[in-house]
Structure 1
Amino acid sequence: MRPVSSPPRATPDVPLDQIDREILRILQGNGRAPYREIARELGVSEGTVRNRVNRLQSDGVLTIAAITDQFALGYRVTAFCLIRVQVGYQASVVEELSRWDDVIYVSSCTGRADLYIQVVCRDHEHLWELLTQRLPSVEGVADVETFQEIKLHKVSYVYPNFGEGAAGPVSE
């Protein structure tokens, strides 16, 4: 089993100035962009870029990660599950599902479900086993509604208009 990854921190809004926003814009387009090239494009020193990236990372604003192609890794099936949880079991169900390698996203939500999860499976048999054996064995799971993804039309990890009122205060 993989270690449970830390969820994004719920930190107060971090003020972003124009240089911060430009660094984030560049890194969203290419997370491997060298600090030297970013500095040249922005007209600042490489040290300024390095210090700001380090601050943005320590403030929880920026995480640089490799995004893989699930299909190239052999995961042919993606599904989304809405899960109703028995009262008093939310934390333990979240903790358990967060440990599963094939559960790649877990969030608490409002509405007709208590949890939203995304799963990746090798094939339909893998999904069947997850839905009919593993999920029902988790204490506190009351009901599961599953949606299988049949065609991906868009995926983006680039947030539009960040720092311009959409994601908190901006300092100039």
Structure 2
Amino acid sequence: MSDLTTAAGDGNGRPGRGSLDELDGKIVALLQRDGRMPYREIGRQLGVSEGTVRHRANRMFSSGALTVVAIADPFRMGYRVLAFTLLKIAPEQQQHVIDTLCGWDEVTYVSSCTGRADIYAQLVCRDHAHLWDLLYQRLPQIGGVVTSETFMELKMHKVSYVYPMS
């Protein structure tokens, strides 16, 4: 079976069958630096064949362990406001709020968290009026939001989705 399980393993402290091995990790590391790097070049750098790289990359793509995407600079795309909001949610409304936020084009990231907030959401807006509309018109219409705390990002200093391979 070539399906990948999570790198964390089977839940009992054992590596999962088909989890990422050292070569997979090296392929991922190269694709994190350059998602358009040809398999031939990856194979050359790692000392394996292009076919081996293609097979392993395709296996990781089809299992969902790896996705290659383009990350655009929102400011260069015409957006003037980046913000994130911390939301405290009525427990019975958690999934409803998550589902609703995930459907909004302006929401680029949603996660459940612990601490003073239940949900973290990142927002990208054309301008302050757009942010105001999201926070004070659309968000209250969802229902279940008890409190919100919103922060505007003034400048991005690092954007990276490169995860260290340990």
Give the TM bin, normalised by the shorter chain: 0.7 to 0.9
* Contact 2:90 2:146 (C-alpha < 8 Å) held by counterparts: yes
Q: Please say if 1:114 is aligned against 2:124.
A: no
5+ residue gaps, structure 2: 9-15
Aligned to 2:108: 104
Report the AA paired with residue 130 of structure 2: H
Tell me, in whole angstroms, the C-alpha distance in 2 between the residues paired with 1:50 and 1:97. Answer: 36
Instruction: State the Cα deviation string for residues 13-36 of structure 1 (Å, max 9, x = none).
Output: 353333212211110110000111
1:1-172 equivalences under 5 Å are 11=6, 13=8, 15-160=19-164, 162=165, 164=166
Partner secondary structure for residue 89 of structure 1: helix
Partner secondary structure for residue 97 of structure 2: helix
Partner secondary structure for residue 149 of structure 2: strand
- RMSD (CA atoms): 1.5
How far residue 37 of structure 1 moved from its aligned partner, in angstroms, is 1.1
Partner secondary structure for residue 85 of structure 2: strand
* Contact 1:105 1:118 (C-alpha < 8 Å) held by counterparts: yes
Aligned to 1:7: none
How far residue 94 of structure 1 moved from its aligned partner, in angstroms, is 0.6
Q: Work out the number of aligned pairs and report it.
A: 153
* Divergent runs of 4+, >3 A: none
Instruction: State the Cα deviation string for residues 97-154 of structure 1 (Å, max 9, x = none).
Output: 1100001111111111111100000011111111111111111111111011111111
How far residue 73 of structure 1 moved from its aligned partner, in angstroms, is 1.1
Partner secondary structure for residue 44 of structure 2: helix
- Between 1 and 2, higher relative CO (CA 8 Å, sep ≥ 6) is seen in 1
5+ residue gaps, structure 1: 1-9, 165-172
Q: TM-score, normalised by structure 1?
A: 0.83
How far residue 12 of structure 1 moved from its aligned partner, in angstroms, is 5.6
Q: TM-score, normalised by structure 2?
A: 0.86
* Identity of matched residues, %: 58
Instruction: State the Cα deviation string for residues 49-104 of structure 1 (Å, max 9, x = none).
Output: 00010122233321111111111111111111000111300011111111000011
